[in-house]
Amino acid sequence: MSTPAAVSPLDLAPVLPVVVLRAAADAVPLARALVAGGLPAIEVTLRTSAALDAIRAIAEEVPEAVVGAGTVLTPEQVESSAAAGARFLVSPGWTDRLLDAARGSGVPYLPGVSTASEVMALLERGVTELKFFPAEAAGGPAYLASLAAPLPRARFCPTGGIDALRAPDYLALPNVGCVGGTWMLPADALADRDWARVETLAREAAALRS
């Protein structure tokens, strides 16, 4: 099987669903619902024991999806995520060791930042695509807007506290490629395996930037 080309999740859809899966068996139908709704990039967080199996299942069975690993905290998780088929990596923050491991994997990486100094440090290392986290708590759209002029090379995926009402404020900014969120994945829909509802909510999210 050929290796999929590297891709940035910032360029695929206005919203990056942030998925916490407790049962790997739900991964494929959930991914298909999100893709059908127009959200092909899917971040599966490494917060559960099912996460790596979920990433592997999506990578193997839903070729239209671009599945990534989120909450990547260690070089070991970089390695295991890449081996499972993750096509991008996301972390809430970053360290030099984690950045080096991500670069060594060849998988696109969105390190988390919340200050101008962190952005500048990563720009010095040649990293221009970043996760802004926790977005709402760290200053929201006003903070990101203030970074656009002095740090024009940086592009962001803000995540944390963003919902369907707040997302358009971020998406209107020139330095935002997409937003991360969970509102298209309500807990009751996941518990009921109501994939049709997930697809409907995904379609609404995908239409936020026409």
Q: Which tokens belong to 49?
A: 């024991």
Task: Spell 14-38 as b/e; 16+ CB within 10 A means b.
Answer: bbbbbbbbeebebbbebbbbbbbbb
Tell me if residue 136 is catalytic: no
Q: Are residues 79 and 49 in contact, defined by beta-carbon separation less than 8 angstroms?
A: no
Measured in whole angstroms, the distance separating CA 188 from the mean position of its chain's CA atoms is: 22
Spatial neighbors of 124 by CB under 8 A, at least 6 apart, are: none
Q: From the candidates 131, 136, 199, 204, which is the catalytic residue?
A: 131
CA distance 197 to 194: 6
Per the annotation, the verdict on 124 as an active-site residue is no
Nearest to 66 by CA among 5, 143, 137, 155: 5
**Lookup result for tokens 């299942």:** 57
Angle at 79 between CA 47 and CA 127, to 5 degrees: 90
The rounded distance, in Å, linking the Cα atoms of 134 and 106 is 26
Active site residues: 43, 131
